Structure 1
Amino acid sequence: MASIPASNTVAAAAMLSVRNLTVSLPVGMERAHAVNGISFDLLKGQILCIIGESGSGKSVTANAIMGLLPKVIRVTEGSIRLDDTEIIGAGPEQLRDLRGRVVSMIFQDPLSALNPLMTVGDQITEALLAHNVGTADSRKDRALQLLTEVGLPDPALLYHQYPFRLSGGQRQRVMIAIALALEPTILIADEPTTALDVTTQAQILNLIRDIQRRKGMSVMFITHDFGVVAEIADSVVVMEKGKIVEQGPAGRVLTTPAHPYTKRLIAAVPRLTSTNRVLPETSATPILQVENLVKTYRSGSRLLRSARTVKAVDDVSFELKPGRTLGVVGESGSGKSSLGRLLIKLMDSDSGRILFEGTDIATMKENAFRALRPKIQMIFQDPFASLNPRSTIAHILTVGPIAHGIPASQAREQAKALLSHVGLDAGAFGRYPHEFSGGQRQRIGIARALMFKPKLLVADESVSALDVSIQAQILMLLDQVQRETGVSMVFITHDLRVASQICDEIVVMQKGRVVEVGPPSQIFLDPQSAYTRELVAAIPGQEPG
């Protein structure tokens, strides 16, 4: 069903009205337009969800509304009216006055959106200061209040922390606090819960919905998760390759979708399953044994009485057999990503052992460990930060293998084959990371990790940035690679639905400690820990299958 312009009555009630919006891409891209002739309205007090796969034009639409399109792409046709103001053609001063006060945005990638040189508190108060709101003391009080509202621990200490000290989920909550600082009339949320665990996602959705109801705020919520749509949406716009293919009330689109693409998206949503995977028999000797691993973070100053000690990994032990997948699940800040970085020796542990094929790598010096690096690879949580922005995809994928003695021609052919395997066309080879969507960058990260044909793959939230259909493809790809090569995986995720589908055994972490270990059938049908029961219960509308 094509996009249908709203009636004059509806348009008059719209806080945001988009008409025939077309955004053109540079010559040589896969298609001519990022967004092509779309029209929709966001009504006062309404939550409108825009859903579609990576590259469908969702984020481009949001950035066009905010006046934040990069110079290489431009609006070539159409109108965007924000309340009574035409955005297309508006000057920088006019747009700056509207941002934050009238319309605010929660960005998809918190690490690149936050200033690494400013503390969390300064970044929140900066939004208030830019619009001359309050005194220095009242701005600080407001910042502390917002940090509390979005569920961050110890706001008084976090106020003085820098973004790099926070987990991915914590950084996203800081972004939400900044966006809500001035309580705008329109909030644009671009995948704001993608990096969050299920309990925190529920908190954030409730927070946005509560503020929306109290203030009569209008929300444009961009997501690829139909579970989120079912929770909060009043109406839905479905986009595919820059065009609107279906729109209407959320209840109708979810229950009786008219377009085949919408039906495919709904069918691809991961379902919680308690069925254990059946894989060929493997060696009883573990490829990886972790014994009493400890990592402690220290920050602040004892002299200034601001010292803070956090045991990110606290006496963790487990083992992984060859050709098997161990899931590590838990909330943001539970120590999942820290554990992954210890396993691949991106940082040193304080104590404990990491036995890889019987050799303790925890105490190895970098020179000794370098020969083992090709055997242990990692898919990082943040694809934007982990890819060199100055290198082409060809260089990113081949530089490591070439440095380890693989002929350049062989490395290039292998890289092209892997790009195709993860769903990217041959044209991606000569492009740069900034030319791809978040989901596409994550697929490049997966291809890079597979270039070495590793024995152990540590996947840190490797599908959290992907839309549901691509997520299903990547999970099938990882399963296929594992069956073909026998690679072992440590699969770190906050999405219990995904963990239930790909993992043979699951480790549940809370505040750095392992609270439960078991197969999916136990974790999801008969959890022994109260914390695990809380995680399973927080998955909206899910019953184990």
Structure 2
Amino acid sequence: MASGMQAAVPADVVLSVRDLSVSLPVGMERAYAVENISFDLTRGQILCIIGESGSGKSVTANAIMGLLPKAIRIFSGAIHLDGMNIVGLSSDRLRSLRGRVVSMIFQDPLSALNPLMTVGAQIEEVMAAHDVGTPKSRRSRAMELLVEVGLPDPQLMYHQYPFRLSGGQRQRVMIAMALALEPAILIADEPTTALDVTTQAQILQLIRDIQRRKGMSVMFITHDFGVVAEIADSVVVMEKGRCVEQGSAEQVLESPSHLYTRRLIAAVPHLTGKDRIPLEAADGVSILNVESLTKTYRSGSALFGTQRIVPAVNGVTFDLTSGRTLGVVGESGSGKSSLGRLLIKLMECDSGSILFEGRDIAGLSEAEFRSLRPKIQMIFQDPFASLNPRSTVGRILTAGPIARGLPYSEACERARELLSHVGLDSGAFDRYPHEFSGGQRQRIGIARALMFKPKLLIADEAVSALDVSIQAQILKLLDQIQRETGVSMIFITHDLRVASQICDEIAVMHRGQIVESGPPSQIFLDPKSTYTRELVAAIPGEQPGNVPQHEGHAGHHKGGQTS
């Protein structure tokens, strides 16, 4: 169909995708990133496109925005914006539509925002690119937008650079930029994936409020059915580039017809309301005892009155027994990751004690602690950043043990055994990290941590960026490893649903302090702290205090009346 040709699209449909196929370069695992997909976005509605990594969700969004990389192209099909087919339009025509007719909120705001420009300048740039308004009116409009998206102190925020903002604040700036020209369609590509539950709830509420107030149409891309239950009017389910199911949110959530949809829904972690069955091998002996642990960050200058003091960890006390898992939950900035780094001595504490197997390691020098380091291992949040891209997986796994005297042949044999144990084939040993998916890289990170046969594993947001189905596999793997080896774990996460699946005890952190601790049944069904109740209430797709009665229920749909 020729670009610009009018199509018979219903008046209430603002975006219509018909038989769209996007081809991949020769030699890829499949011929098309997206193959023969069709769907409609109705005026004033929220359409959620859901699927795992590699399903073609983001490619679909980028095709609509005209932002496909040069290596892939639209092979066939049509994309109608208000009845006009935009496939084949010139880059200048597409540029005139972006921001004015359709806008996009990207997954990672820090990489999408210019680090060298202030927040205000970046919002104004959107308007200047379309020659809208005067410098004075653009500044006024930028201030209005900062207020509209709920950022504190707009006057100060206007002059800030992105690195000075939190993840949630940066996402609000992205939303402000997307709204600058009052577009008819807003595309949100995984805008809440890496955010903690309360910030996620705020961003979802903000998008829903703006959509209602302005009568906008929203295409929301996600891999979490909990989010779908929260905001969607209609749903498109994608698998390996194909649309396998679509319909109203209520229909897809309550009676999914496709096996893949049912599998995605079943993989969504829920608050179980049940305490974990303890390991038979657990002997009740304390492996880690932490008393009054404190760490304060200081920046700026006291002399010039710019000193900033942040108590990251403030008098934290807990006890972890052998073979059990302690979950540490809380929002970004609560001190969770700082606590993890103190426990593995990646930084020194200011005061307090860390008794590991009865020995206080808090005051040990690096040389004194080196012999104990193999016993305490860490699984990092971003496996790609923590794996050396220039080394094969085999070298990554064996380098440490060989440096500590393990013969090369034994180290290789153990590495191959562990790769098999974490569900990777024998060929993984000679491959490089970039050749694996996110879930596979996380398995490599787990295998590396197990090479030393540790007594304590510290998992810092080990599943936060993974698809729910991959997440479920990693959680099952960690549970299996613990039951086989008896290793103790500290599981740091901002996702309370995940914590309820794998933890024996949960400690809730807020502003550097543990405000509440106890078994999952108490923390999630009968929380004592106001802060804990707020965290539980913010979980997408869950009713506070109401535990789903059967596997695969994605929570109570609240998004059906958003228009």
Per the shorter chain, which TM-score range?
A: 0.7 to 0.9
Separation in structure 2 between the aligned mates of residue 277 and residue 338 of structure 1, nearest angstrom = 26
Q: Which of 276-285 and 233-242 deviates more? A: 276-285
Q: CA deviation at 1:223?
A: 1.3
Q: CA deviation at 1:378?
A: 2.4
Contact 2:8–2:83, Cα closer than 8 Å, also in 1: no
Q: In the TM superposition, what are the counterparts of 1:352-371 in structure 2 within 5 Å?
A: 352-371=352-371
Q: Which of 81-90 and 505-514 deviates more? A: 81-90
Q: Which of 108-117 and 151-160 deviates more? A: 151-160
Question: Does residue 544 in structure 1 map to residue 547 in structure 2?
Answer: yes
Q: CA deviation at 1:13?
A: 4.3
Q: CA deviation at 1:108?
A: 2.7
Separation in structure 2 between the aligned mates of residue 143 and residue 433 of structure 1, nearest angstrom = 42
Separation in structure 2 between the aligned mates of residue 123 and residue 398 of structure 1, nearest angstrom = 47
Show CA shifts across 1:439-497 (max 9, x none): 55544444443444432222222222222222222111110011111111111122222
3-state SS of paired residue (2:286): coil
3-state SS of paired residue (2:322): coil
Normalising to structure 2: TM-score of the pair?
A: 0.83
1:275 alignment counterpart: 274
Q: CA deviation at 1:328?
A: 0.9
> Cα gap change, 1:131/1:264 in structure 2, threshold over 3 Å: closer, same or farther?
same
Normalising to structure 1: TM-score of the pair?
A: 0.85
Question: Does residue 248 in structure 1 map to residue 251 in structure 2?
Answer: no
Q: Which has the larger radius of gyration?
A: 2
Contact 1:54–1:440, Cα closer than 8 Å, also in 2: no
Contact 2:281–2:323, Cα closer than 8 Å, also in 1: no
Q: CA deviation at 1:24?
A: 3.4
**Residue identity matched to 1:204:** I
Q: CA deviation at 1:15?
A: 2.8
> Cα gap change, 1:267/1:527 in structure 2, threshold over 3 Å: closer, same or farther?
same
Show CA shifts across 1:67-121 (max 9, x none): 3444444443333344466554445444444444433333333454445555656
**Residue identity matched to 2:200:** Q
> Cα gap change, 1:68/1:456 in structure 2, threshold over 3 Å: closer, same or farther?
farther
Separation in structure 2 between the aligned mates of residue 287 and residue 481 of structure 1, nearest angstrom = 18
> Cα RMSD (Å) of the superposition?
3.5
**Residue identity matched to 1:264:** R
Separation in structure 2 between the aligned mates of residue 385 and residue 338 of structure 1, nearest angstrom = 18
1:315 alignment counterpart: 315
Q: In the TM superposition, what are the counterparts of 1:29-68 in structure 2 within 5 Å?
A: 29-68=28-67
> Cα gap change, 1:342/1:110 in structure 2, threshold over 3 Å: closer, same or farther?
farther
Separation in structure 1 between the aligned mates of residue 398 and residue 158 of structure 2, nearest angstrom = 41
Separation in structure 2 between the aligned mates of residue 180 and residue 413 of structure 1, nearest angstrom = 56
3-state SS of paired residue (1:227): helix
Contact 1:120–1:160, Cα closer than 8 Å, also in 2: yes
Q: CA deviation at 1:376?
A: 2.5
3-state SS of paired residue (1:287): strand
1:3 alignment counterpart: none
Separation in structure 2 between the aligned mates of residue 403 and residue 159 of structure 1, nearest angstrom = 51
Q: Which runs of 5+ in 1 are unaligned?
A: 1-7
Question: Does residue 224 in structure 1 map to residue 223 in structure 2?
Answer: yes
> Cα gap change, 1:353/1:499 in structure 2, threshold over 3 Å: closer, same or farther?
same
Q: CA deviation at 1:229?
A: 0.8
Q: Which of 372-381 and 444-453 deviates more? A: 444-453
Contact 1:402–1:411, Cα closer than 8 Å, also in 2: yes
Q: CA deviation at 1:255?
A: 1.4
2:77 alignment counterpart: 78
Report % sequence identity.
76
**Residue identity matched to 1:213:** R
Q: CA deviation at 1:360?
A: 3.3
**Residue identity matched to 1:250:** A
Contact 2:282–2:486, Cα closer than 8 Å, also in 1: no
Q: CA deviation at 1:45?
A: 1.8
> Cα gap change, 1:430/1:227 in structure 2, threshold over 3 Å: closer, same or farther?
same
Q: CA deviation at 1:303?
A: 6.7
> Cα gap change, 1:435/1:482 in structure 2, threshold over 3 Å: closer, same or farther?
same
1:500 alignment counterpart: 500
3-state SS of paired residue (1:508): strand
1:515 alignment counterpart: 515
Question: Does residue 205 in structure 1 map to residue 208 in structure 2?
Answer: no
3-state SS of paired residue (1:449): helix
Q: Which runs of 5+ in 2 are unaligned?
A: 1-6, 549-563
